[in-house]
Chains A and B, each alone.
Chain A
């Protein structure tokens, strides 16, 4: 009797790549369904949308997923010239639907479908196929697609409603928590940062504005536990990443006399949890060595805190992950070094700790030093009956001439602005300037114009700052 021979081991773990991907999709399902509930069912229940609108979140996710699948199939067929069996095999083993699925989850639901499609196509072609396809890419493809869309079409998305669905427009009526936080000078306080959205419980259960997939923290945490139990993701990365952000914001918060709500808010808002669990752990673009993963996660946390507080964008997760993606090869080299002495671990960890504390102190100090004066505000000319001032808005400084009489603002004339036309129209259309003048003694209570939050806030602040100056 002849037997087949091949190289062992002759038993194999049942956990194949396709099972790993299946678990990933299973973990994402509740998150997608939640978005369907929050952005579809709730709206339908309040008669804010029709049946199509109710199912729109599902359609949105499907379009993203399907686009990336089709794009890769066409690319494989036309550019890589794979036919028949080769084509089927390559489609089967490359999980091309995933980047598009993630793109649709990290974009707001108000992204017009054509833009979503562009995002998914960019994710597949630029983020994945140009590097040589599945397993070869350096950057997370979904985040590449998302970054492209947000940079090129961010204003289009914003003018289409931004991150807020129709129900939230009625109930909350302003920007996402992080945008709101970003616009507050200094660290803000619980009433300003969290209160407008309810309380931290709403953050946990996801009834806050945000992208399609990122809002429901509790489901993301459940997904994390599921994925760790099923041994799908590198469990250290999300844990260390989120803990780092928590510890740093705890330091920053307590330096400014804020309580535990501040770090909790930082963790539960924006794309941090979603990014940590699903994007930072993307196997292809994260380190494989233990030490590499630990350093990678620490750096992600530090960068996120830095980006959130020091750049013009409110969100820092996307850029942090893409930045750290560049260093994966380096980190793996570090992590695979022969462990000759404990110093090899202690030195990088020491550097990390210094960075962590340094950045925390830096950010914390920034807020302590930022007294009531607003760095975005400038008085250009000051006369008895008018001020010429500028305040940084969405596209740059807004210049205005503000007429005063008896310590009261009588007229506001915008001299110059670089705001997007759509935003500006929104501001002028709603008679916002008149509202500001009418309520000038109670400006904190004036609502911003939704859809043009930043522009309207800038105008409001301009008035507040002028008032302050007059009181001096």
Chain B
């Protein structure tokens, strides 16, 4: 099994959950191809469709559409956002849908705007629009600090299991596997009684390695099989635990308007998991994280391995953000000469040779031969490099070149 052991740092936030569901404003990113379904000064209810992509984005509060503003997104880019002012009335338009067939289910995922909540925001309807034999519920969370999936699994396991049962009926799935990290006893004790009466659901404990939560690693470990691009090639779907929870809510009629994020890292005064309205500005959570312990702070959206550092606190928590971390700013490391130790190639879970990618960064043919498009940007090469060379950036560049 290829991977590395990282210090987990998860104790501080484990199973702690708070709510912050009344932001003053919420913001929704508008891409170029998006179709706006509301105008300025329109009144919206919670759950109303406001933006159409290939799926719909629903308002997470009730209130008034005010304007289009430019703000930081969770990857520290300035983007256009639709601003909605909260009137705190929580009027909603939820209706319990009738879902009987696969087509109904796909339609539901589109309507309720369900996307993968683990980080990359891949629309779920694409995943489920296949013949499915195995469903893997990914509650591994291999990135350090993050416990959002864990706490969701811990608190809402019954709801999740109910949703799983329904999904099984719709797709006639043969088996459902909940993957958790080995040694996570509390969670295991919570899950086992909940799934006891369902013989098609089982729990698998996976090794405490990063990136064990990567789909390919999970499928390889659990099903002992490999696939080219997507696990659906082998009739397998991997969904994150939080995503399954939001599907369970969608089955009740509630769109994806809330999610749980982890606020952690040694520099936050308070570390906790928070359920927030999607589109909240991180700034508004100040009462929850209560400022910083020290001055030199690196603010990160996402995990420490795959996240992005942010220049301001006023950035938008879009649905793909699973954590906000404040870490002590590391002493600046200047990259030194590559000694060709080969650690990056040894540890790459996608079996790429980052050192050779770096050497051949200007040779497009060679980059194609090195198959850089397999890179999942897990960051192990940059983490492990003793010369502190940020190899992931080379790989990103290479990926762009061979596209």
Chain A residues close to B by CB (< 8 Å): 1-13, 15-17, 19-20, 93-94, 133-135, 231, 234, 283-284, 286-290, 293, 332, 335-339
Instruction: Report how far A234 CA is from B342 CA in the complex, Å.
Output: 8
Find out whether the CB atom of A17 lies under 8 angstroms from the CB atom of B387.
Answer: yes
- Complex interface: chain A residues within 8 A of B385 (CB): 13
- Complex interface: chain B residues within 8 A of A5 (CB): 76, 309-311
Asked if A8 meets B379 with Cβ closer than 8 Å, knowing A17-B339, A336-B370, the reply is yes
CB < 8 Å: which of A3, A4, A11, A288 contacts B355?
Answer: A288
Asked if A17 meets B342 with Cβ closer than 8 Å, knowing A10-B300, A288-B355, A332-B353, the reply is no
Does B330 belong to the interface (CB within 8 Å)? yes
Does B23 belong to the interface (CB within 8 Å)? no
Find out whether the CB atom of B6 lies under 8 angstroms from the CB atom of A338.
Answer: no
Asked if A8 meets B308 with Cβ closer than 8 Å, knowing A17-B386, A290-B345, A337-B369, the reply is yes
In angstroms, how far is the closest chain A Cβ from the Cβ of B338?
6
In angstroms, how far is the closest chain A Cβ from the Cβ of B362?
16
Map CB proximity to A onto B313-351 as digits: 1 under 8 Å, 0 otherwise.
Answer: 100000000000101011001001111111111100001
- Complex interface: chain A residues within 8 A of B390 (CB): 7
Find out whether the CB atom of A4 lies under 8 angstroms from the CB atom of B388.
Answer: no
Instruction: Report how far A16 CA is from B355 CA in the complex, Å.
Output: 16
Not counting A7-B309, A8-B307, A288-B340, a sample of 13 additional A-B residue pairs whose C-beta atoms are within 8 angstroms of each other reads A3-B313, A4-B329, A8-B382, A11-B7, A11-B144, A12-B333, A13-B4, A17-B339, A93-B337, A134-B337, A234-B342, A293-B342, A332-B353
Asked if A283 meets B342 with Cβ closer than 8 Å, knowing A10-B330, A134-B337, A336-B370, the reply is yes
Find out whether the CB atom of A11 lies under 8 angstroms from the CB atom of B304.
Answer: yes
Find out whether the CB atom of A10 lies under 8 angstroms from the CB atom of B309.
Answer: yes
In angstroms, how far is the closest chain B Cβ from the Cβ of A348?
17
- Complex interface: chain B residues within 8 A of A338 (CB): 369, 371
Find out whether the CB atom of B393 lies under 8 angstroms from the CB atom of A13.
Answer: no
Find out whether the CB atom of B327 lies under 8 angstroms from the CB atom of A10.
Answer: yes
On chain B, which size bracket covers the interface? 35 or more
- Complex interface: chain A residues within 8 A of B382 (CB): 8-9, 12
Instruction: Report how far A437 CA is from B385 CA in the complex, Å.
Output: 67
Does B299 belong to the interface (CB within 8 Å)? yes
Instruction: Name, among A16, A17, A288, A290, the residue most crowded by chain B CB atoms within 10 Å (CB to CB).
Output: A288
CB < 8 Å: which of A8, A135, A293 contacts B338?
Answer: A135
Instruction: Report how far A302 CA is from B341 CA in the complex, Å.
Output: 24
Find out whether the CB atom of B309 lies under 8 angstroms from the CB atom of A4.
Answer: yes
In angstroms, how far is the closest chain A Cβ from the Cβ of B377?
10
- Complex interface: chain A residues within 8 A of B310 (CB): 3, 5
27 contacts between A and B (CB under 8 A): A2-B311, A3-B299, A3-B311, A5-B76, A5-B309, A6-B298, A7-B390, A8-B300, A8-B379, A9-B382, A10-B325, A10-B327, A11-B6, A11-B7, A11-B304, A12-B333, A20-B339, A93-B337, A94-B337, A283-B340, A288-B342, A288-B353, A289-B342, A290-B345, A290-B346, A332-B356, A336-B353
- Complex interface: chain A residues within 8 A of B387 (CB): 16-17
Find out whether the CB atom of B339 lies under 8 angstroms from the CB atom of A283.
Answer: yes
Does B392 belong to the interface (CB within 8 Å)? yes
Measured CB to CB, the nearest residue on chain A to B265 is A10
Find out whether the CB atom of B353 lies under 8 angstroms from the CB atom of A287.
Answer: no
Does B306 belong to the interface (CB within 8 Å)? yes
Instruction: Report how far A286 CA is from B342 CA in the complex, Å.
Output: 9
Does B384 belong to the interface (CB within 8 Å)? yes
Asked if A12 meets B309 with Cβ closer than 8 Å, knowing A288-B342, A290-B346, the reply is no
Instruction: Report how far A10 CA is from B306 CA in the complex, Å.
Output: 8
Asked if A8 meets B309 with Cβ closer than 8 Å, knowing A13-B386, A336-B370, A339-B351, the reply is yes
Measured CB to CB, the nearest residue on chain A to B297 is A3
Does B200 belong to the interface (CB within 8 Å)? no
In angstroms, how far is the closest chain B Cβ from the Cβ of A266?
28
Find out whether the CB atom of B305 lies under 8 angstroms from the CB atom of A8.
Answer: yes
Does B171 belong to the interface (CB within 8 Å)? no
Map CB proximity to A onto B363-385 as digits: 1 under 8 Å, 0 otherwise.
Answer: 00000011100000001001111
Instruction: Report how far A138 CA is from B385 CA in the complex, Å.
Output: 21
- Complex interface: chain A residues within 8 A of B343 (CB): 231
Chain B residues close to A by CB (< 8 Å): 4, 6-7, 76, 144, 296-300, 304-313, 325, 327, 329-330, 333, 336-346, 351, 353, 355-356, 369-371, 379, 382-388, 390, 392-393
Measured CB to CB, the nearest residue on chain A to B327 is A10
Instruction: Report how far A13 CA is from B333 CA in the complex, Å.
Output: 12
CB < 8 Å: which of B76, B330, B339 contacts A135?
Answer: B339
- Complex interface: chain A residues within 8 A of B329 (CB): 4
In angstroms, how far is the closest chain B Cβ from the Cβ of A14?
10
CB < 8 Å: which of A8, A13, A94 contacts B306?
Answer: A8
- Complex interface: chain B residues within 8 A of A134 (CB): 337, 339
Instruction: Report how far A335 CA is from B345 CA in the complex, Å.
Output: 10
- Complex interface: chain B residues within 8 A of A93 (CB): 336-337
Find out whether the CB atom of A10 lies under 8 angstroms from the CB atom of B342.
Answer: no
- Complex interface: chain A residues within 8 A of B299 (CB): 3
Find out whether the CB atom of B304 lies under 8 angstroms from the CB atom of A17.
Answer: no
Find out whether the CB atom of B305 lies under 8 angstroms from the CB atom of A12.
Answer: no
Find out whether the CB atom of B356 lies under 8 angstroms from the CB atom of A10.
Answer: no
- Complex interface: chain A residues within 8 A of B346 (CB): 290
**Which 6 A-B pairs have CB atoms at the shortest separation, nearest pair first?**
A288-B342, A9-B379, A135-B337, A5-B309, A10-B304, A283-B341
Measured CB to CB, the nearest residue on chain A to B337 is A135
In angstroms, how far is the closest chain B Cβ from the Cβ of A169?
41
In angstroms, how far is the closest chain B Cβ from the Cβ of A25?
15
CB < 8 Å: which of B325, B342, B351 contacts A287?
Answer: B342
Instruction: Name, among B341, B346, B370, B390, the residue most crowded by chain A CB atoms within 10 Å (CB to CB).
Output: B341
Instruction: Report how far A10 CA is from B353 CA in the complex, Å.
Output: 22
Instruction: Report how far A174 CA is from B4 CA in the complex, Å.
Output: 52
CB < 8 Å: which of B298, B325, B339, B345 contacts A289?
Answer: B345
In angstroms, how far is the closest chain A Cβ from the Cβ of B37?
34
- Complex interface: chain B residues within 8 A of A1 (CB): 312-313
- Complex interface: chain A residues within 8 A of B297 (CB): 3
Instruction: Report how far A4 CA is from B296 CA in the complex, Å.
Output: 8
Instruction: Report how far A9 CA is from B325 CA in the complex, Å.
Output: 12
In angstroms, how far is the closest chain A Cβ from the Cβ of B291?
9
Instruction: Report how far A3 CA is from B388 CA in the complex, Å.
Output: 22
Instruction: Report how far A234 CA is from B7 CA in the complex, Å.
Output: 24
Find out whether the CB atom of A20 lies under 8 angstroms from the CB atom of B369.
Answer: no
Measured CB to CB, the nearest residue on chain B to A232 is B341
- Complex interface: chain B residues within 8 A of A289 (CB): 342, 345, 353, 356
- Complex interface: chain A residues within 8 A of B144 (CB): 11
Instruction: Report how far A135 CA is from B351 CA in the complex, Å.
Output: 23
Asked if A9 meets B304 with Cβ closer than 8 Å, knowing A3-B309, A94-B337, A287-B342, the reply is yes
In angstroms, how far is the closest chain B Cβ from the Cβ of A229?
15
- Complex interface: chain B residues within 8 A of A332 (CB): 353, 356
CB < 8 Å: which of A13, A17, A290, A337 contacts B336?
Answer: A17
Measured CB to CB, the nearest residue on chain B to A285 is B340
Instruction: Report how far A17 CA is from B386 CA in the complex, Å.
Output: 5
Measured CB to CB, the nearest residue on chain A to B341 is A283
Find out whether the CB atom of A336 lies under 8 angstroms from the CB atom of B313.
Answer: no
Instruction: Report how far A5 CA is from B386 CA in the complex, Å.
Output: 22
Instruction: Report how far A288 CA is from B111 CA in the complex, Å.
Output: 50
Instruction: Name, among A6, A13, A20, the residue most crowded by chain B CB atoms within 10 Å (CB to CB).
Output: A13
Asked if A20 meets B386 with Cβ closer than 8 Å, knowing A8-B300, A11-B304, the reply is yes
CB < 8 Å: which of B76, B340, B383, B388 contacts A16?
Answer: B388
Measured CB to CB, the nearest residue on chain B to A12 is B383
Asked if A9 meets B392 with Cβ closer than 8 Å, knowing A3-B299, A284-B339, A289-B353, the reply is yes
In angstroms, how far is the closest chain B Cβ from the Cβ of A386?
63
CB < 8 Å: which of B76, B307, B312, B383 contacts A13?
Answer: B383
